[in-house]
Structure 1
């Protein structure tokens, strides 16, 4: 079977690498891919120069090349309706429809659905402009809040505020100055939940839900969860933050009612449902939903997965997940450390050659997944804010962390940086 992976980040490198290991995979095309996927040629991976938002171009390529399965990585093409377009052309695709992808594409839609499905989440109020939001803030007590752009903002449209002044500034940035573009056409102000964050991802065909081991992302840029929000500075899996009993509770009170409610709304959900959770004293509450594998959670998850991923995604498309045996996992934990360009998540310089990738790859139980890279004049260079996801397995979480940072130390480019504390939180939960 020929497979097409859509996207160019660390998640897509991990997907292509894992899918290419299937005995059923002939060629795995990645559109547009990066320098990392370019380096997987011996596995049968090939880059295709088509942007991930070129719906017509991707459908045309899939038809012309008789692609047996398209796996859509990022949220933007899902929200644009790429899966619908592929299916209308008689092609098989893994991922939610345009209507189902609104679960991530609109924070307002997501929060309304959580309320109607009786899924535990924080209280909220939605606004169509800055003026209404500012009036609301000035009329209520000064408490910590979270301000969110309604639309897609590459993981950066969420501002966690300690007080009213910070919330007013966030509203002006999102809805006044439109720092996140059209994503700020509407916004949400919600209760700030307290606790520890966890990511629970599940693969579903709309009837059966395969819940994956819980992971933990690190969103803020700085050590100790300080600084601005990013797309994710690292992740580890599994996290001891959720016990087996709590994971079962998340399935029962979060995932199942959401999938059922989407079906009732005639927006059946098929693909990856990613619940960003806050584990509070009252139990797990949903912060947001994503409709695809998380980046960087995908990297440690797929590093540990032993089951043939192509078989799983193929079964999901055919609505036969219930017939699969339980997924097999490497019992060892995995840690992914994101290396970023200087200035990220703000403005950053690109085009610097990256050294030491071969040295890092030579270390045992290490895989360097590329995100913001390209091959220019024979050299791998940084072209994005998040550049690499250095991922390692270990007998313990601290062992995996040590191995990941050993690999990080091998890699250099001008302005490279990373958080130094990825997975340290795990020690406090054990």
Structure 2
């Protein structure tokens, strides 16, 4: 009888289908007007671990709907365990009645380690450096609704996705939705894709493991009681401080899941519980390097707008492939870069025939997305096997450093003369890896 009721519920709810992008998009693009309720049986993700593929076809095709308070209404089969978003179909319409919801709003930032300082020279302009740092801080604004919704806004020029991009999540599914600036398009991120999105600016599924957690004490952060946890996985170790915030409700675990995904840990982890919010995180990768994540402000809310948490919003058309444009990956204008020096140095002309007349050319000959820092400021992100020309820096001495966004690769800083041609070669990458 139970099996019959589950089957009946699946048939009643099968009008809606979830989605994930396939790794190989179809030749014909998805039309913006295509029905979001088309029934397409999901294909398994080849790189996921087997325990993530236990949902039946009826479960995976169940429509995700919510009540007037923003609480997702789930089928019998999904009440005890969120379902992974199934691949290669648009999401069904998400409907929430306009109302204000309780929750919390966080300001947060990724923190790079081993960031070099500018050279000690009278031409270094402190005001110009501070202005450049203000617009390139790696910041997120995060809304966590008690009812189980998350909205992450990219609020920095220097993140792998442009300012105005968003991530949204809900507690009855695993995975996120990526929104273009202006909410014009969306793409589904299956579980495990967040790491490659942030680290490599592409969507691919990182194999997920259960990981192992070890409590490491308690304390306070931002005047909030926290429990401290170390999570170990094949990719490295994550140190977490989880703050007790009942106002976050079922929204808190969504941020916790996202941080675990970056480590390659299954979002089913029991460490992500309602009423707790990650306030601090530090990653140490197995091969060296790392990156931090820190909440810099917390505001308890009673007025989160429910329609700002729709997944996806009605204005967004489904995108089967592609990502929001990064506009060349140069984060500072010519004038902003010129302002980090008070005047040029009277240096002789560069003997490098590849050096430009001013500024620099950043050449990435590796297969990774690399950032180039100038005096500790992210100036440009260069895709694999590509180069970017950056104008603005005045003639003089600068400290530069190559690194990946998530800090798996952090090169030693170098003091160089600009104009310059700066090359990160594949041979250097092989040497760093012991090849």
TM bracket (short chain) = under 0.3
Greater strand share, structure number = 2
Question: Which of 1 and 2 has greater Rg?
Answer: 2
Q: TM-score, normalising length from structure 1?
A: 0.24
Report the structure, 1 or 2, having the larger helix content. 1
